[in-house]
Chain A
Amino acid sequence: DAKTTQPPSMDCAEGRAANLPCNHSTISGNEYVYWYRQIHSQGPQYIIHGLKNNETNEMASLIITEDRKSSTLILPHATLRDTAVYYCIVRVGPSAGNTGKLIFGQGTTLQVKP
């Protein structure tokens, strides 16, 4: 699976949009981009994933560049409860020998401030 690079930490004002970047310049054509977050010591929580197109759900939006070498997770109106470590993960699609496991990096610690 391709390696990802994220800034170690970011701050965001409560109520503002939080934009978390992720670089995955070695991503291959069948690799998806996943975002998870871990709120202080809890189990990781799935946020969103995408392959090529931008995606949006009730939690966030995922913007993937046209060359797929980077992406941005957007939390449109950050709240204090969004303070967490955010992980960007790339993973291959279904194929023989693919276990589906996620490999977590160090992630970005997002601190939402009042």
Chain B
Amino acid sequence: NAGVMQNPRHLVRRRGQEARLRCSPMKGHSHVYWYRQLPEEGLKFMVYLQKENIIDESGMPKERFSAEFPKEGPSILRIQQVVRGDSAAYFCASSPVRTGGSGELFFGEGSRLTVL
């Protein structure tokens, strides 16, 4: 059973370009979470999605960032007009159900974005 798959693992963009990060959850999982980790900092929650719905986007920057989880295909985190401060590791996690108390989130290995 494959784990959470993220790609690309490494992405280099110039300022002003767009970055698209993809996350395929574990088989049978319909809940996806995105986290960002700036260099030498902790993990920060960004957004929680279910299929075709954004449930909680309280951690998303107000501009340039968007996320989707379509009925078919992976979840996409999109960053428009990237700036150097967007350079970070972006982690995706999935869960099979709304894991309020039991169960856990399964994390991918992350996508590392470098903005030149």
Contact = CB atoms under 8 A, between A and B. Distances in A.
Size category of the binding interface on chain B: 20 to 34
Task: Classify the secondary structure of A's interface with B.
Answer: loop
A106 B42 contact: yes
Contacts, number: 69
Interface in B83-116: 89, 91, 93, 95, 98-102, 104-110
Interface in A80-108: 91-95, 98-107
Contact of B105 (A38, A102, A105): A102
Nearest to B109: A43
Given A41-B110, A105-B42, A99 B91 contact: no
A100 B42 contact: no
Interface residues of A, number: 27
Given A46-B106, A101-B33, A51 B42 contact: no
Which 6 pairs show the lowest CB-CB distances between chains A and B?
Answer: A93-B101, A94-B100, A43-B107, A46-B104, A104-B43, A99-B56
Interface of B: 4, 31, 33, 35, 42-45, 48, 55-56, 89, 91, 93, 95, 98-102, 104-110
Interface of A: 30, 32, 34, 38, 41-46, 49, 51, 91-95, 98-107
